[in-house]
Structure formats: structure tokens, C-alpha cells
Amino acid sequence: MKEKIEAALDKIRPQLRMDGGDVKLVEVGENGVVKVKLTGACGGCPMSQMTLKMGIERILKKEVPEVKEVIAV
């Protein structure tokens, strides 16, 4: 599952990098909870929660159905 998540994140990264940010996979829980760290400009952006939920989480759930939730750490 970790490989599928990394592949999905690779699809998201170009958009994040265009704005000076990135996302790192921190942990994949057996309960379907994925922990990520937003870095660069994304780390302190006031829109980061929207990016996390409406962008990253939505795409990960679509690409990897086992993903139940994505949280930032």
C-alpha cells in the first residue's frame, strides 16, 4: 500500500512544487490513516488544510481505496 500511496503523491507533487511546497509521506497506519508532512511554502500556508483535504486526501482515496483519512503532522 505504501508504494501505491507514493505513486499517488508523485501525481500531486508537481502542483505543490509550482507553489514552492511539497509533501512527504510520514506513516501509513494499518487502520487506513496516512500521515503526511507538508513542507516548503505548503508548511506555513493558510490554505494548507484545504490542500490537504480537498487535494491530497481526495486523490489518495481515489487512487488507493484502502486510505480512510489523511492527516498532517
Which CATH number is 54's domain given? 3.30.300.130
* Residue 12 to residues 20, 21, 30, 57, 58, Cα–Cα distance (Å): 13, 11, 23, 10, 11
Q: Mind listing the pLDDT tens digit for each residue in 19-63?
A: 899 999 999 998 999 999 999 988 888 888 888 999 999 999 999
pLDDT reported for residue 60: 96
Say if residues 36 and 6 touch (Cβ distance below 8 Å): no
Residue 10 has phi, psi (to 5 degrees) of: -65, -25
Quickly tell me which residue has 500556508 as its cell.
45
Domain of residue 39, residue span: 2-72
Say if residues 67 and 61 touch (Cβ distance below 8 Å): yes
- Count of domains forming the chain: 1
More confident residue, 9 or 19: 9
